[in-house]
Chains A and B, each alone.
Chain A
Amino acid sequence: MVNNKLLDMTFRLTIICAVAALILGIVNIVTEPLIIERKRIEKEMALKTLSDGDNVGVVQYPADSDDLHMDLMALLVEHGVIGAEDDLDEKELITSIYPVDEAGTVTKYILQLEGSGYGGKMILLAVFNLDGSFVKAKLMENNETPGLGKKAEDPLYYNMYMGRGNSSDPVPVSRRALADSDAEAVSGSTITFNGISKALALGSDYVKLLGGNN
């Protein structure tokens, strides 16, 4: 009797789940190609805007080099991005590298970076000069809080990083390194700021090591 009831409940719940899965599968079949295409177009548009019309080269990926990794970690420690004992895998955080060239000479790099914000993973496209100085960026996928962390979607948000990141002026990775007005602007979204700053600092230091030779 008990077993029959249990079986009946299981059966009914299974039917509900199966029908729900079927409907979701159909909706997914319809929407998935549209979502993928939209993301592709968004990225293409963002690369076009960020490159200022210059030629964006073929996508590359971080080199699998221990020497480069060690040099990068040393720079990150020096700039206060990570602690002396810490280590991070740049191949996971720098997911694409696009060289930007003018008349065949690489002048800038656009890096696709992953940062960690208040709502989890953030994907960022950032432009750096060959000396690692920051030019501009666009926050792509993110789940930051509307009205707070989402402000990082505004291009003006990145004014505080503008020109910083060369060997004499590293990318600010704490609010103390910002001007008072900028520090106030990021109040309420410190976790987003930290995530973006660390991603940009990583990108900046990586580009310094590339020096136009990836």
Chain B
Amino acid sequence: MFNFLKGLFKENPIFVLALGLCPTLAVSTQVVNAIGMGAGVIFVLIGSNIMVSLLKNFIPDEVHIPAYIVIIASFVTIVDLLMQAFLPALSSSLGVFVKLIVVNCIILGRAEAFASKNNVKDSIVDALGMGIGFTVGLLIISLVREVLGAGTITLFPMGDFSGVIKIPGLYDAPARIFSLSPGALLVMGFLMAGFNWLLSKNKNKEN
């Protein structure tokens, strides 16, 4: 349970470990991107953690990084091809960022720091915790940026629902800076500060 929960709070990849920030800042312009990117990262993280954990005694130390990259890149390519074939809208929406999961530090970081030293079961739990922690972090940032920067919440279209919820008042006069790069850094900074404040408050209580 600890391995799972630590990814959500104590070692949240975005707000505490500050890993995978490039794609986080880049795709967090819309909520739907956060969901798609999060799902992709969870799949790749679980797959690569399983493979690295299974092969930890087979992969020589001297070439472990190239070996991990081959494993991660393979899973990312599988995700990319499956998305293009079965979820074309999401694939088009995420564009190049799916391919960039290869260099997402969270994946390589967990392979290196956890999966290469632990068994398959614990590695899956770690991947789930970290993946969900990353997705939740990405969702919060996207929600703030999209609502303030575009006045919308974009989800998947279903039936008559176009997938876009327009926020009255904000849709006509959004604070566009939140959609742009400086807005990403601002939101990230404030949320990171808030998250760390909450964690330190809980720590003080425990002490």
Contacts and interface: CB of A to CB of B under 8 A. Distances in A.
A34 B84 CA distance: 9
12 contacts: A12-B59, A13-B70, A17-B70, A20-B74, A23-B78, A24-B74, A24-B77, A28-B81, A30-B85, A142-B95, A146-B93, A146-B97
Interface of B: 26-27, 29-30, 33, 55, 58-60, 62-63, 66-67, 70-71, 73-74, 77-78, 81-82, 84-86, 88, 92-97, 146, 149-150, 176, 179-180
Contacts of B33: 146-147
A16 interface: yes
B30 A143 contact: no
Interface string A135-152: 000000011111110100
Main secondary structure of the interface of A (DSSP, over half): helix
What are the 10 tightest A-B residue pairs by CB atom distance, in nearest-first order? Answer: A147-B29, A31-B85, A34-B85, A20-B74, A143-B95, A143-B96, A31-B81, A9-B60, A146-B33, A188-B180
A148 B63 CA distance: 39
Contacts, number: 84
Contact of B29 (A17, A120, A142, A146): A146
Most chain B CB inside 10 Å of its own CB: which residue of A12, A30, A153? A12
Interface string A100-120: 000000000000000000011
Given A9-B62, A13-B67, A23-B74, A31 B29 contact: no
Contacts of B150: 147
